[in-house]
């Protein structure tokens, strides 16, 4: 076996096989790692209520099928008005606070540690019903 090609690696597979696998790796997998911190991520308003602040850690097309990865902070009494998405699923994870998510007219309690997945087309509204800030980490996944 020569050192630069042709032959079998000690692991037991041909070098050509390894090369072929690397060449078939999607380009998004070859991007450098991304490192972000909430401490340095700017704050912006949520589309459904600009008074609700969010920090977007990942934006569309940074990860295939991911529409965003964000954290939102609702002051007491704030509501993200009811809306639906025809092109994405949305997942919410409660970090802190108390609230309600109403999905197609049915309210569900939000408290730390709760995770909610909203299906395509489901009308959902999020409200802070507590006395402290409601903190949600959330992301969207594009439908196929």
pLDDT, average across residues 11-15: 49
What is the per-residue pLDDT for 24?
Answer: 55
Residues 11 and 78 in one domain: no
Do 140 and 116 touch, CB atoms closer than 8 A?
Answer: no
pLDDT, average across residues 49-65: 87
What is the per-residue pLDDT for 18?
Answer: 44
Q: pTM of the predicted model, to two decimals? A: 0.73
Asked whether the CA dihedral 67, 37, 48, 100 is positive or negative, the reply is: positive
Residues 110 and 68 in one domain: yes
For the chain, the domain total comes to 2
Q: Domain containing 17: what range?
A: 1-31
Residues 61 and 107 in one domain: yes
């Amino acid at each position: 076996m020569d050192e630069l090609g042709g032959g079998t690696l000690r692991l037991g597979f041909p070098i050509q096989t390894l090369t072929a696998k690397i060449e078939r790796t999607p380009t998004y997998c070859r991007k450098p790692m991304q490192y972000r911190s909430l401490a340095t991520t700017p704050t912006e308003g949520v589309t459904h209520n600009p008074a609700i602040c969010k920090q977007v850690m990942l934006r569309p097309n940074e990860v295939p099928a991911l529409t965003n990865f964000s954290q939102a902070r609702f002051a007491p009494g704030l509501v993200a008005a009811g809306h639906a998405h025809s092109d994405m699923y949305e997942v919410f994870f409660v970090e802190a606070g108390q609230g309600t998510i109403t999905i197609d007219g049915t309210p569900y309690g939000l408290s730390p540690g709760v995770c909610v997945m909203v299906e395509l087309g489901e009308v959902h509204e999020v409200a802070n019903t507590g006395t402290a800030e409601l903190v949600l980490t959330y992301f969207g996944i594009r439908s196929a």
